[in-house]
Structure 1
Amino acid sequence: MSATTDPFGQAKYQVRFDWGAAGADRIVPGVHAVVLVDALSFTTAVVVAAEHGTAVAPWPSGDDLDGAAAFAAEHGGVVAGQRGEAGPTLSPSSFAAATGAPGSPGAPGAPGPSGPSDAPPLVVLPSPNGGALAHRLGVLGVPVIAASMRNRTAVAERLLALQAEHGDRFMIAIVAAGEQAIAGEEPGGLRFAIEDLLVAGAVVDALVARGVDHTSPEAAVACAAFEGLARATRHLITASGSGVELRERGFAADALLAAERDATDVVPILYDGVFRAQ
């Protein structure tokens, strides 16, 4: 079955939406850009890193970490540690803390701290969800954009700019990472993540507000979820299963960073295996 005849491929729509690696495979054929969402925590970490001048190379966690170390060495970077360790990790707060910037982690503003920075120029960031997906999507040859609630409007504006450069109808796939199955569930399964649905819907909402409104039913439903719950997104993200899990592990600040809306105009785009601020 071709991409144009697959009933789940959403091929006739300009803005498409699906979940995980299988969903990406369904909706990416023929697109000109991919928007990746893993709100807690990969894409939020990528955005906060970009805000503070650090590029991020996505990597699947637990897979070829020797390769990750080699990539980091080749590019003058480091491999991220585990949450709670010193230095950059999958925790978005760790990238803000690495800069030594005053005030709360990830404060809105232009990229870069106001004082000296200890942040490495590049971090290879292993992740089982967003990192693995980004690593997989990087071979498509189209821009892959890291989206979070922090930069959802900036992402929409960048997509419009890319559309103008393209000069023709511009097809967009929004892919939500979701979460790997929790203990006791079938291995390899994907758990619905409300934080990813809300961020994906927030990006669609920003696109629709700018006239890009030929959305698939799947994208339209995500947009409606955000629109209907827009006033409650901070609470919903921090109170979600993933948000509670982070709080219980001592990383409540990560969920708070992920819940901040339009905090930055930084748009990290994946080129040559690295997300860099554009």
Structure 2
Amino acid sequence: MTIPQTTPQHTAAQQQPAPQQQPAPQQSAPHQQKYQVRLDQGVAGAARIASGAHVVVVVDVLDGHGLLSTADVLAAVAAVSDAGALVLHATAASSADVARLVLDRQAERGDRAVVAVVAAGALDDDGFRSAVEDVLAAGAVVDALAASGIDFSSPEAAVACAAAVSLRGAQSHLLTASSSAAELAATGREEALVAARTPAAVATVHRAPLVAEAPDRPGSARAGGGAPHGGGPHGGGPHGDGSRGDGSHGEQSEPA
């Protein structure tokens, strides 16, 4: 198991009075902005951590529960992400592929890539509900990134990673026993559960970068649309077991 690195965080900066109504924030949460790997939940959480991220990973394991479909969540998260961000849909099974894509993005940039991992959760009539299957799968993504050397993670990302690693053997049971699975079963949509038991090992590119990165130094500018993934398989690397991929961009000891 590779444990993401994290550092003590200053909390004194969070001294603003809470607003009466809580609209979806449009700025990075101050306590995660310094980290290379960030994690939050839901579309509002994506708005908190997506600013400045070069890769945004939406983790939505079960489609069809709550008021928003996976497609709805992906569209909403893409809308709050930077135009230059690569937006992916992933599960625990495709976590190693996500790490590979992030390494590819770093190679394109010639610099480290900031990753925002979003556990989709569910939007119900009474508000947002955290989905345990999404949190654990998001933690598996963080673990795969750490195994690839991308381990300057926020405390939120580190906690989800530790949960995913410690509960790895129970994830199948936790998926079928979750509130999301119960909702699907009660509404006759068991096919979504069947699909979730055999997930793809390849992450889906929802949106390639829309703009080229600013040429602020020689050799760093790249055309925005050239995501190398292209939706095809990457060969036989194992997923979910901390495989390191083919790159070594792990010297992430300092925030940008």
Within the candidate set 15, 23, 28, 2:37 is matched to 15
Is the partner of 1:22 in helix, strand or coil? helix
Would you say the 8 A contact 1:154–1:267 is kept in 2?
no
Would you say the 8 A contact 1:150–1:259 is kept in 2?
no
Q: Distance in 1 between matches of 2:161 and 2:87?
A: 20
Equivalent in the alignment of 2:224: none
How many residues of Structure 1 are paired with residues of Structure 2 in the alignment?
186
Letter in 2 for 1:232: A
Instruction: Determine if the alignment matches structure 1 residue 28 to structure 2 residue 50.
Output: yes
Q: Distance in 2 between matches of 1:38 and 1:223?
A: 16
Matches within 5 A, 1:136-215: 136-139=76-79, 140-141=82-83, 142-182=85-125, 186=126, 189-215=127-153
Q: Distance in 1 between matches of 2:158 and 2:198?
A: 22
Matches within 5 A, 1:1-150: 3=27, 6-8=29-31, 10-41=32-63, 128-139=68-79, 140-141=82-83, 142-150=85-93
User: Percent identity at matched positions?
Assistant: 42
Would you say the 8 A contact 1:37–1:200 is kept in 2?
yes
Per-residue CA deviation, residues 103-136 of structure 1 (Å, 9 max, x unaligned), is: xxxxxxxxxxxxxxxxxxxxxxxx7153333213
Matches within 5 A, 1:260-275: 260=198, 263-271=200-208
Cα RMSD for the two superposed structures = 2.8
1:203–1:266 CA distance, 2 compared to 1 (3 A): closer
Q: Distance in 2 between matches of 1:26 and 1:174?
A: 11
Deviation at 1:222, TM superposition (A): 0.7
Unaligned runs of 5+ in 2: 1-15, 17-25, 211-229, 233-256
Letter in 1 for 2:108: E
Would you say the 8 A contact 1:233–1:259 is kept in 2?
no
Would you say the 8 A contact 1:234–1:260 is kept in 2?
no
- Considering fraction of residues, name the structure with more strand: 1
TM-score by length of 2: 0.64
Is the partner of 2:152 in helix, strand or coil? coil
Would you say the 8 A contact 1:179–1:192 is kept in 2?
yes
1:143–1:272 CA distance, 2 compared to 1 (3 A): closer
Is the partner of 1:257 in helix, strand or coil? helix
Deviation at 1:267, TM superposition (A): 3.4
Deviation at 1:238, TM superposition (A): 1.2
Unaligned runs of 5+ in 1: 42-89, 92-126
TM-score by length of 1: 0.60
Q: Distance in 2 between matches of 1:205 and 1:260?
A: 20
1:204–1:266 CA distance, 2 compared to 1 (3 A): closer
Q: Distance in 1 between matches of 2:187 and 2:27?
A: 42
